[in-house]
Amino acid sequence: MRFLRLTVRQAHYNLLGYLRSARTVIFGVLMPVGFLVLFNSVFGGKFKTIPVDGHDISTIAFYTGGLTTYGVMLGTFTGILVAIVGAREAGWLKRFRGTPMPSGVFLAGEIIYLFVTSLGLIIVMLAVSHFGYDLSIRADALLAIFCYTVLGVFAFSAMGLALCRVITTSEMAGSVGPFTVVILSFVSGVFLAPNLLPQWLLTFSSYLPLEPIVTGIQHAIALPTGSGFVLRPFIVLGIWGVVCFVIAQLTFTWEPQRR
């Protein structure tokens, strides 16, 4: 009960910081929305549909699903990396360590806060596509989209945590994070239609943590029937998430790192 109360306080504290920082709001919300508008105006007229994993889906559904997932990964993976490396560098983690706060509270507070901001981003992105580009989303698919978000926040946060030991400065975190997400996005059907990529690259990216969830969300948004659930993202991202959490558990440190 105390753990829960402290975690909610911590998440609330983080959320306040997020809402007050122009940088996080611009990168977290305006950039994905900007990309959505941009890509849709460039390619929306050229291609009616884009083939994704055996289904032809509308261009707006393709970009809505892809760029939303991109935004979630950018926000959580980069967000947790920058937050933890920065807090460690500033001695903030060390200071927490000296209080009776249970050590899991800090982490749980970060993850819950990232989940809230991710949900916020998804709502904004779906609203822009729905009201701006007539994308209709079935109510049946909303549960699946919600579960994909939970899965994504879990796996991407775990990946960020696993890298905290080797990323020693917040400067490094601020460049490695977005760079990784952009590269991964190019091979995972976010910016480019998958049929433009060579088969070996498609096969390779299907084992990486972004492509399965991008495809899952794109299908949940676009397909006219079904629950929207596919097992593959839960297996691939589940394994990534668990492995990265174990690595993080073994390597995590609260003390500022010497450069």
Partner 1 sequence: MSNVIEVQGLTKRFGSLVAVDDVSFSVRRGEIFGLLGKNGAGKTTTVEILEGYQSPDAGTVKVLGVEPKDGGRLWKDRIGLVLQDSDFDPGHTVAETVNLFAGFFSRPKSVSETLALVGLTDKANVRIGRLSGGQRRRVDVALGIIGSPELLFLDEPTTGFDPSARREFWTMLEGLRSTGTSILLTTHYMEEAQHLCDRIAILATGRIVAEGTASTLIALSGSTSLRFAHDVALDIDAMSSATNLSFRVVGDTLSADLSNSQGDLLRLLHYCEAKGIVLDGLEVVRPTLDDVFLDVTGEPS
- Shortest CB 252 distance to partner 1, Å: 16
Our finding on whether 253 is near partner 1 (CB under 8 A) is no
Our finding on whether 10 is near partner 1 (CB under 8 A) is yes
- Shortest CB 116 distance to partner 1, Å: 17
Closest to partner 1 by CB, 4 or 242: 4
> In the set 3, 4, 13, 246, which binds partner 1 (CB under 8 A)?
13
Closest to partner 1 by CB, 15 or 247: 15
Our finding on whether 3 is near partner 1 (CB under 8 A) is no
- Shortest CB 173 distance to partner 1, Å: 15
- For 237, other C-beta atoms within 10 Å of its C-beta total 24
Q: Which of residues 85-124 bind partner 1 (CB under 8 A)?
A: 90-92, 94-95, 97-102
> In the set 3, 4, 9, 140, which binds partner 1 (CB under 8 A)?
9
Residues lying near partner 1 in the complex (CB under 8 A) are found at: 5-6, 9-10, 13, 16-17, 20-21, 90-92, 94-95, 97-102, 255
